[in-house]
Copies of this chain bind each other. A is one copy, B any other.
Amino acid sequence: MQSRDHDTEPLRLYTYWRSSAAYRVRIGLALKALAYESVPVHLLRDGGQQHAAGYRALNPQELVPVLVHGRRVLRQSLAILEYLDECWPQPALLPADARGRARVRALAQAVACDVHPLNNLRVLQFFEQQWAVPQAERETWVRHWIGTGLAALEAMLADDPATGAFCHGDAPGLADCCLVPQLYNARRFGMDVEAWPTLARIERACLALPAFRTAAPEAQPDAPAAS
């Protein structure tokens, strides 16, 4: 545990075990060894608990995660991770130089803006409910955007000397917090992550760290029991 003034105020994370965006924040919290209360929001039960009035008051976007820190309500996974980094600077999720910070943010956003939002639950529900798109076609869509996005990410990382054991240098950071959940998602849709050798290598380095394993979907209190 870190000991700073911030520690006197509790952290509460509204999360869903399989949400890619919540998974990012759980990794950040674990890397910084911050204790928090986990409040599950079941995205499929009760017509989607994220749509309930109580949760909507917390987040009008009706999406997870939300982090509550004392009386502060924080939304959007990348904004939350930057907030954690500003309040608890060590270990840093972003490098110290402007150029490195821009690189890491761009890698994170290539996932968080250009892959994940196209494939999340509400989009797949739209296709099913509004357009009656068959499941096989919905999965083709998901794989198309994961494939497009991760091929670009592989190209951005593979030949760049700034890439190290992790996305940026030899310590995990913001980009790794986004990469690992996205690869988890790729695997869920039957994709072979070895198609992107640099990403697969970085994922192995991440998953060797306890923080990433603690944050994993299957390790969450709201994950269904293994059969």
Interface class of chain A by DSSP = helix
- Contact flag A110-B76 (CB < 8 Å), given A83-B98, A117-B118, A152-B60: yes
Chain A 96-122, CB-CB to B under 8 Å as 1, else 0, gives 001101110110011011101110000
A200 CB, min distance to chain B CBs, angstroms: 17
Cβ of A53 within 8 Å of any chain B Cβ, yes or no, is no
Whether a CB of chain B sits under 8 angstroms from the CB of A126 is yes
CB of A61 closer than 8 Å to a CB of B = yes
Whether the pair B118, A102 counts as a contact (CB closer than 8 A) is no
A60 touches B102 (CB 8 A): no
Known: A72-B99, A126-B144, A144-B126. A61 touches B105 (CB 8 A): no
Across the interface, which residues of B come within 8 angstroms of A103, CB to CB? Answer: 79
- CB-CB under 8 A from A80, the residues of chain B are 102, 106
Q: Judging by beta carbons under 8 Å apart, are A102 and B131 in contact?
A: no
Contact (Cβ within 8 A) A82 B61: no
In contact, B60 and A106 (Cβ under 8 angstroms): no
A46 on interface, CB distance cutoff 8 Å:
no
A110–B61 touching, CB < 8 Å: yes
Which of B75, B98, B155 has a CB less than 8 Å from the CB of A86? B98
* Residue from B82, B140, B151 within 8 A of A105 (CB atoms): B82
Task: Tell me whether B78 and A105 are in contact (CB under 8 A).
Answer: yes
Cβ of A74 < 8 Å from any Cβ of B?
A: yes
**Which residues of A in the span 44-84 have a Cβ within 8 Å of any Cβ on B?**
60-63, 72, 74-76, 78-80, 82-83
A30 at the interface (CB under 8 A from B): no
Cβ contacts A to B, 26 pairs, < 8 Å? A60-B151, A60-B152, A60-B155, A61-B149, A62-B152, A63-B114, A72-B99, A74-B106, A75-B156, A76-B105, A76-B109, A76-B113, A78-B105, A78-B109, A78-B113, A79-B105, A82-B101, A82-B102, A83-B98, A83-B101, A86-B101, A117-B117, A118-B123, A126-B141, A126-B144, A131-B133
